[in-house]
Structure 1
Amino acid sequence: MKLQTVAAMDVGSNAIRCLISDVTGLGPDKPVKKSAYLRIPVRLGADVFTSGRISDARQHMFLEAMTAFVHLMRAYDVDHYRICATSAMRDAANGPALISSVSRATGLEISIISGVEEAEILFEANTFSAWADPNETSLYVDVGGGSTEIIAVKNNTLLEAQSFQVGTLRMLAQVVTPEEWLRLDAHLARMAETYKPRQIIASGGNINKAAKLLDKKEGKAASRAELQALYEDLRNLPYNERMTRYRLNQYRADVIVPALEIFLTVAARSGAGRFIIPKVGLVDGMVRHMCFYGGAEQARRPPAPSFRDIP
């Protein structure tokens, strides 16, 4: 069967991520081989969560990033792609206009998706089933710059999914509302009573970095105590010393602290005692999603756009 190359782009609040993978045809259970991964720290949320708009400077950065991805996809001879914009673009007053102008300039189709859609893509793509015990309820928690997605899963069944406007950049800007914290707290208290989860399957760049700092191999468990100790150490270090001691780049050294705070809050409120960190994220889910829903006959979601249609 002909090898297909697919590309997924996650236009997040903190960074834009691109994953290019080779698959043996578009269909369920096809093997996936990663070819390239690129992360550009555009930080759209730094503007949006303080001013409500994306600045001219970051609009230009976004256009440059999308133009670069067009060239990258040509270089890798990509067949199909999907681009999803999340929390910052959802909240930006000028987000839809920016998407339209960049689409006209590049020919790319870019979708703004909801937080619940983010969760559904990850679940439908079966991204984390290998890490969940089928006999107990697990919480899949993805912490981003603008939002946190929480999915309750048992035996490959999605029990419920919620998105909260609690993210690392929002916390740094101190714009998470008391009402949203209360909503998150009430949700977690109910989940603790209803499902009694024992583990969190954690995703996001910050928790992946934490796993590396804790020397946890892919999918290995980290205890809440281990994560708490790392959080306390990082929180008590000045920004520059975090970069030096832990070899963090400037775009990770600030956001990793609020990210760990969110994960630990979810664990404490839900009663979960351990973290599984499989090092997957939305782009991985998008690639698997294209494999699952690539055929025109599979109409639950539209097929991924063909990159061949871009002049």
Structure 2
Amino acid sequence: MIKNDHVAGALDIGSNTLKMLVVEKTVDGLREVGQRTSETRISAGISQNNPALKEESMARAIAVIGELYRDMMVYHPDKVRMVATSAVRDASNRDVFCKRVLKETGCPVDVISGEEEAQLIGCGVLTDPALKDQREILVFDMGGGSVECIYIKDRKIQFAESLPLGGVRLLEHHVADPSQPLKDTEIQAVVDSVARHVSRIPLQLEDPDKALVVGAGGTWITTRAMLAHRDGKTLEASSPYLELKDLESVFSEAASYTLEQRLQMPKLPRNRADVFPVTLLALMELGKWAGVTHFYNCFHSLRWGVASSLLENTRES
């Protein structure tokens, strides 16, 4: 029987996805009790000079947030936190959005900084049992508005950076017509943008051969699912390890297609079809910058970090 003082709920209002998680703290770590994800984009227009959430996007997101919150409360968590990230953080009308969410759910929204977001993602990654013996970890978490880069050594976060390289932001900045194949000039613009932003990050892997690069977020999951489908496997049956050459293969195909053609690609969600090529390209460039050719796909990210932080001072059940 679950003891509610050991149960926490986290709701992540991301730029491209809304996610709910409920976990229980046990002697073996955190155990997932319930979770749900909705591919609901609220970040359209975040690259404008005066970024604001559009009414249609807000209304759609608030309705889904209400559903996720009610689903979460079915588990009667003792501690709950709802966080919003890049799209809401940068929006001029974020206060209006947060008030409407509060009215819908009765729960306040914490609009977290990029630095806190990156720190919480790092904490979330550390809850993955598969990584408990990994000494050196570099995390890339791709969102709609930002990419979080976190370096972990000996299970301690050494640095956590939030970069404005999210997929929707890159799409709006550098792609003139998302319905068409990517042009060489657009590809180069994304590559240059990544290079410019990572140039200020003090990365020096202690042991590049043994360090593990962890990929979190929907782009990694989508790519893994697409590769698994090629091999006749389900996502669950596929290896969590991805090779750079395989990412390049998926990118080359997706980037050469029109949006209509991408919509026919197996395992590519409809609401990611426009943004997918630029997000995958950005992640490939981050891998090249780090000097790595293989990645580990991790499902433990921001919402796991939020839940973990809520329970860090409680005793195990």
TM category (shorter chain) comes to: 0.7 to 0.9
User: What percent of counterpart residues are identical?
Assistant: 22
Given that 1:63 and 1:102 are in contact with CA atoms closer than 8 Å, whether structure 2 keeps it comes out as yes
**1:7-45 deviations in Å (ceiling 9; x for gaps):** 211111112111233x157xx85441332313141x221
Report the secondary structure of 2:265's partner residue. Answer: helix
Aligned position for 2:47: 49
Q: Once the 2 structures are TM-superposed, how far is the Cα of residue 138 of structure 1 from its aligned partner? A: 2.6
Aligned position for 2:275: 255
Report the secondary structure of 1:48's partner residue. Answer: coil
Given that 2:123 and 2:304 are in contact with CA atoms closer than 8 Å, whether structure 1 keeps it comes out as no
Aligned position for 2:203: 191
Distance 1:53 1:169 in 2: 14
Given that 1:199 and 1:276 are in contact with CA atoms closer than 8 Å, whether structure 2 keeps it comes out as yes
State the one-letter code of the partner of 1:185. Answer: V
Distance 1:257 1:35 in 2: 31
Q: Gapped runs of 5+ residues in structure 1?
A: 296-311
Given that 2:25 and 2:311 are in contact with CA atoms closer than 8 Å, whether structure 1 keeps it comes out as no
**Closer/same/farther in 2, CA of residues 2 and 34 from structure 1, 3 Å limit:** closer
Return the TM-score normalized by structure 2: 0.80
Given that 2:8 and 2:307 are in contact with CA atoms closer than 8 Å, whether structure 1 keeps it comes out as yes
State the one-letter code of the partner of 1:237. Answer: Y
State the one-letter code of the partner of 1:167. Answer: G
Aligned position for 2:106: 107
Given that 2:39 and 2:271 are in contact with CA atoms closer than 8 Å, whether structure 1 keeps it comes out as no
Distance 2:268 2:192 in 1: 33
CA RMSD of aligned residues (A): 2.9
Q: Once the 2 structures are TM-superposed, how far is the Cα of residue 264 of structure 1 from its aligned partner? A: 0.6
Given that 1:44 and 1:54 are in contact with CA atoms closer than 8 Å, whether structure 2 keeps it comes out as yes
Q: Once the 2 structures are TM-superposed, how far is the Cα of residue 133 of structure 1 from its aligned partner? A: 6.2
State the one-letter code of the partner of 2:310. Answer: M
State the one-letter code of the partner of 1:15. Answer: T
Given that 2:191 and 2:285 are in contact with CA atoms closer than 8 Å, whether structure 1 keeps it comes out as no
State the one-letter code of the partner of 1:224. Answer: L
Given that 1:30 and 1:291 are in contact with CA atoms closer than 8 Å, whether structure 2 keeps it comes out as no
Distance 2:268 2:17 in 1: 15
Q: Gapped runs of 5+ residues in structure 2?
A: 175-188, 229-234
Return the TM-score normalized by structure 1: 0.81
**1:62-94 deviations in Å (ceiling 9; x for gaps):** 332232234323434343321110000110001
Q: Once the 2 structures are TM-superposed, how far is the Cα of residue 290 of structure 1 from its aligned partner? A: 2.3
Aligned length: 289
**1:214-242 deviations in Å (ceiling 9; x for gaps):** 22757632211111111111111222222
Distance 1:279 1:48 in 2: 26
Residues 120-269 of structure 1: pairs in structure 2 closer than 5 A: 120-125=119-124, 126-128=126-128, 130-131=130-131, 134-135=134-135, 137-174=136-173, 181-187=194-200, 190-192=202-204, 196=208, 198-215=211-228, 220-269=240-289
Distance 1:219 1:151 in 2: 23
State the one-letter code of the partner of 2:275. Answer: V
**Closer/same/farther in 2, CA of residues 177 and 241 from structure 1, 3 Å limit:** closer
